[in-house]
């Protein structure tokens, strides 16, 4: 099993004000890091009898929620780096799931929820162990589990 959990926020600059070097740094960690680590691990994952890849994303990366003015996330300020990077993570998850399905490798994205971590100056209302529970659940699913999905503690989330 592989859990891709590295992530940085890069601040919350609006798209029209985001610094391109900061944007590159966020995508380098949050998106390119997943590609780099996953591709490096694929030979081992392919030899496994029940390989699983879990990409830690965020509900803020949901295009459905971002475009819905009634969504609980509608009040968030626009983000030019972190939010688009998590949308890219969600898309990569689907693409890896499509590619690796024939190899029997399950690939899903999870949203740990708003956890009190260094990423947000410990502002979240869940502790790290509570947030990790959804990643652990999907990292330990059986071979008949879902692939290409986006999940939170309560189940499937909208893309």
Which residues are designated catalytic?
A: 82
What's the rounded Cα separation, in Å, for the pair 52 and 49? 10
Give the tokens for residue 129.
């162990």
């Amino acid at each position: 099993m592989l859990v891709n959990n590295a992530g940085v926020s890069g601040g919350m600059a609006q798209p029209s004000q985001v610094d391109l070097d900061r944007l590159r740094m966020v995508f380098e960690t949050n998106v390119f890091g997943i590609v780099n680590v996953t591709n490096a691990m694929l030979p081992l994952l392919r030899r496994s009898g029940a390989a699983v890849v879990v990409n830690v994303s965020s509900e803020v990366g949901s295009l459905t929620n971002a475009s819905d003015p009634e969504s609980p996330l509608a009040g968030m300020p626009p983000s030019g780096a972190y939010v688009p990077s998590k949308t890219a993570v969600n898309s990569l998850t689907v693409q890896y799931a499509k590619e690796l399905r024939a190899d029997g490798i399950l690939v899903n994205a999870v949203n740990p929820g708003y956890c009190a971590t260094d990423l947000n100056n410990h502002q979240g209302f869940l502790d790290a162990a509570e947030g990790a529970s959804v990643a652990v659940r999907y990292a330990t699913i059986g071979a008949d589990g879902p692939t290409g999905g986006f999940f939170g503690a309560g189940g499937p989330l909208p893309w």
